[in-house]
Amino acid sequence: MNTMEQQFLEAGTLMLAGMVFVFAFLSLLIIFINTVLAKLAVKFPDPIAPTSTHSNNKKNKVTSGEVSPAIVAAISGAVTRYRQQHSIQQPSISQKEKK
């Protein structure tokens, strides 16, 4: 039984050493990549996307967080067409009240 305990101790030690090695390697890799990216970001900055502030058309003016009415209409039409093609019937209000 003594040899089995030694084998378990050796296996645990190897597992712990492997986990520490992998953690250290990945940590160093992340630090290296972030350092290289920081240096490259100074040399090659991201271009700034132009924003159009002169929009007189009210249809295209949608604030952030809102869904465009054109998108809502397109989705509604697609759902209606799908239901017609697959003959999925929605229960009417009167059928819901009966249940």
Whether 76 is in a domain gets the answer no
* Average predicted confidence (pLDDT) for the chain: 84
Whether 16 is in a domain gets the answer yes
Whether 80 is in a domain gets the answer no
How do residues 20-40 score in pLDDT, each as one tens digit?
Answer: 999 999 999 999 999 999 999
Whether 90 is in a domain gets the answer no
Whether 99 is in a domain gets the answer no
Domain range spanning residue 8? 1-45
- Of 51, 69, 49, 74, the residue nearest 59 (C-alpha): 69
Whether 62 is in a domain gets the answer no
pLDDT attached to residue 97: 61
Whether 9 is in a domain gets the answer yes
pLDDT surpasses 70 at 91: no
Whether 21 is in a domain gets the answer yes
Number of CB atoms found within 10 A of residue 62's CB: 14
Residue with tokens 């040899």: 3
Following DSSP, what letter does each residue of 16-31 receive, concatenated?
HHHHHHHHHHHHHHHH
This prediction has a pTM of 0.44
Counting the structural domains of the chain, the total is 1
Task: Please give the Cα distance from 78 to 30 (Å, whole number).
Answer: 45
Task: Please give the Cα distance from 85 to 90 (Å, whole number).
Answer: 14
